[in-house]
Amino acid sequence: MIKVRIPTPLRPLTKNQGEVEATAGSIAEMIENLNAAHPGLKDRLCDDKGELRRFVNIYVNEEDIRFLKGKDTSLKDGDEVSIVPAIAGGN
């Protein structure tokens, strides 16, 4: 089981849960599984071509997957995944 931290902007899709659980062997699989449980999530994370959006980062245990193997980054039981989109508020 993998714990996935959902950021505030995406919580409307997870019934306001800040953390959800997923079973997956890779980030790509995790996104598919999350989308099945929480429809619409994939569209927020990936563009039309299925690539991760460039203003949303995904971390596996504090490491940015862009600097690992991207969507092919493997996951194992007990991993903690964080989804961290850019936010711009300051006013």
Residues near another protein (CB under 8 A) are: 7-9, 18, 44, 53-55, 57, 59, 62-64, 66-67, 82, 84-91
Residues 6+ apart with CB under 8 A from 38: 13, 14, 20
Structure token pair of residue 82: 């964080």
Rounded Cα distance between 67 and 75, Å, is: 15
The smaller minimum CB distance to another protein, of residues 5 and 76, is found at 5
The smaller minimum CB distance to another protein, of residues 9 and 39, is found at 9
Minimum CB distance to another protein, residue 43 (Å): 9
Minimum CB distance to another protein, residue 79 (Å): 14
CB atoms within 10 A of CB 46: 17
